[in-house]
Amino acid sequence: MKRIQLTQDGPALSQIVAGMMRLREWHLTGESLRSFIGQCLDWGVTTFDHADIYGSYTCEGVFGEALAAVPGLRSRMELVTKCGIQLVSPNRPGTRVHHYDTSRDHVITSAENSLRQLCTDYLDVLLIHRPDPLMDADEVAAALTALRDSGKVRHCGVSNFMPWQFHLLQARLDFPLVTNQIELSVLHLAPLHDGTLDQMQRLRVPVMAWSPVGGGRLFGNDERARRVRDAIAQAGRELGGASIDQIALAWIMRHPVPVLPVLGTGRLERIQAAVAATELALDRQQWFTIWEASAGHEVP
């Protein structure tokens, strides 16, 4: 499977990324989780996406236990995690309201806690999880610079940032942000038209795509979902029987900006199918037929 270079000096990640947001919901034993990780690695899915808040602040620790049990796993993978969201949780009794915190102290403290939870001494990529209306770009830049200079974080990026927010933070840094992790799917077209992907193409920065198959909405019974499924099914037949999931992934990966879908599944068969989807190539008419079905109208 292809590996995608994030900027000229950034890391190379697997094009399909294993998302760990729902790790606790999979109810895997330690042995089962280690087997899951090993199979992903064997298929070339070497990048694992986390956030401090996942599983109400527990998923990083569960994953870290697997790495601690088999130390050789860490050298075969890239770890991405995020910080900046504060959840109301029994695991954070001091938090009274769901909010964002991108202060220097919080970013550094969160990254250091992620290192402990993941049982590693460095993070391949640290992302600021959400735009913070109180974000002081100088403070965030100072935190990311300190973490990078210390070797605790090798590369930095953002998640869910609009172009102007990305530009603001990048303007305060002496090194490039390596990605913007955004929602992108056949049912979420906004980044195609709001300047997000245009900016990434201008900067030659790949994006990571969360909810790349629409978070289950693609299989709903509303008119839009049915239209899109019909268009996808037709493309699947034309491409030798590819599944709906595979065509949905191939559709976002068709964009000239390299797109790394983040799969939030614990089912190995879906990950294997996603790996195969990286070899599918939609032509322009197939791509625009699916766009039209989702948008509900022809292009102008």
Positions marked catalytic: 54
* 123 beta partners: 153
d(CA 80, CA 103): 20
CA angle 278, 30, 41 (to 5 degrees): 25
Distances (CA, A) of 18 to 22, 62, 192: 11, 15, 24
Q: Strands 123-128 and 78-83, how do they pair? A: parallel
- For residue 218, count other CB atoms closer than 10 A to its CB: 21
- For residue 276, count other CB atoms closer than 10 A to its CB: 17
User: How many Cα atoms sit within 13 Å of 199 on the Cβ side?
Assistant: 20
Q: Strands 3-5 and 12-14, how do they pair? A: antiparallel
